[in-house]
Amino acid sequence: MNKNQPIIVTGAAGFIGSCMIRWLMDNGFEHIVAVDDFSRQDKQDNLKDKKIHSLIERAHFFEWLQQQTERPSYIIHLGARTDTTEFDYSIHQELNVEYTQKLWNYCAIQQIPFIYASSAATYGDGQLGYRDDHDLVFKLSPLNPYGVSKNEVDKWILHEEIHPPFWAGLKFFNVYGPNEYHKGRMASVIMHAYHQIRQNGKVKLFRSHRPDYKDGWQLRDFIYVKDVIDVIGWMIYETAPRLEKEEDLSVHALADLKSGLYNLGTGKARSFYDLVASTFNAMQLESHIEFIDMPEDIRDKYQYFTEADMHKLINAGYQKTFTSLEDGVTDYVQQYLMKERFY
């Protein structure tokens, strides 16, 4: 593929977006366009030492797009309002739903491949399972406005008749890793645990409020951010050569090229206890864990179990083994948190 063509990353100053830019740099992409709200000082270090061709403010992005004469090779849309405790849906509607719809329409008309971030939050309490089947999308009941907004996008896209030549909506499970320092309370439990250990020598975890789960044994599918960007990179490499060979980039030209929704987890649920124990171990310390009551206002919205069904991505050809929880936590803690480094 032509690595001198513009490749666009939204949410570029954020956690996953800035890691994506590092991957693009490491893989020789020369014309990276970064889109975000660059007014936030706490995210600026994520882009330090990154080689970026253009920085475009989120509010002016569509105006900028209309002025471009060179067609982007790909748009990777990772920008969103990701705060699961933000209950003003109008914010999610504007930043998550309408913004993604506008980008989709642009990519469909201009025939630009499009990858966007969906979320495992769309699965709600998990009663219907965690399969990335398209039929399931219309039956899901997310537990918070953020999850609702992501599911509304997925439903809308599945009803659209005009598509980009390739598209993928990635249902991220619990992503952790470097460059999440700015996320505050929304950062991974690993980062919070690391700072609690340094300050107090112990970690506090939520007590279980269900008899079928022991304290600390609530389960999540934790995935290392480096695995997330490896999957996105694989999709770019997998599709780009075929896209370039197509003489007709009509909406039907590449209908069989794996377009669709994909889970992005490891396929193996692990406990918060294991997560924190791995953090202690990475710091070469004995575990000291205490349990506290979960705030009542989130108890009815709390997921006790998530685990991605990864068959669809694997059957599509992805063969790389996902990083184990222990290896991912060790790399994150020792190479980034302890050294205060960015990726």
DSSP run (H or E) holding 145? helix 145-159
Give me the phi and psi of 298, to 5 degrees please: -115, 0
3-state helix, strand, coil in the chain (%, to 5): 40, 15, 40
The torsion angle over the Cα atoms of residues 330, 335, 341 and 343, rounded to 10 degrees, is: -80
Give helix then strand counts, H and E, for the chain. Answer: 12, 13
Tell me if residue 74 is catalytic. no
Q: How far apart are CA 79 and CA 145, in angstroms?
A: 16
259 three-state secondary structure: coil
Distance CA 278, CA 328 (A): 9
Q: How many Å apart are CA 249 and CA 21, to the nearest integer?
A: 27
Torsion angle of the four alpha carbons 22, 122, 83, 21, in this order, in degrees rounded to the nearest 10: 10
Question: Which DSSP state fits 305?
Answer: B
Reference 76, options 123, 133, 16; nearest CA is: 16
Annotated catalytic residue, options 3, 155, 183, 204: 183
What sign for the dihedral angle of Cα 264, 58, 2, 47? negative
> Does 273 participate in catalysis according to the annotation?
no
Please identify which of the residues 74, 146, 332, 343 carries the catalytic annotation. Answer: 146
Residue 145's φ and ψ, nearest 5 degrees, are -60, -35
* Phi, psi values for residue 10, rounded to 5°: -90, 160
Rounded CA-CA distance 114/220 in Å is 28
Q: Quick one: tokens of 126?
A: 């998990």
Nearest-10 Cα torsion for 119, 125, 131, 133: -80
Query: Which residues are known to be catalytic?
Result: 146, 183
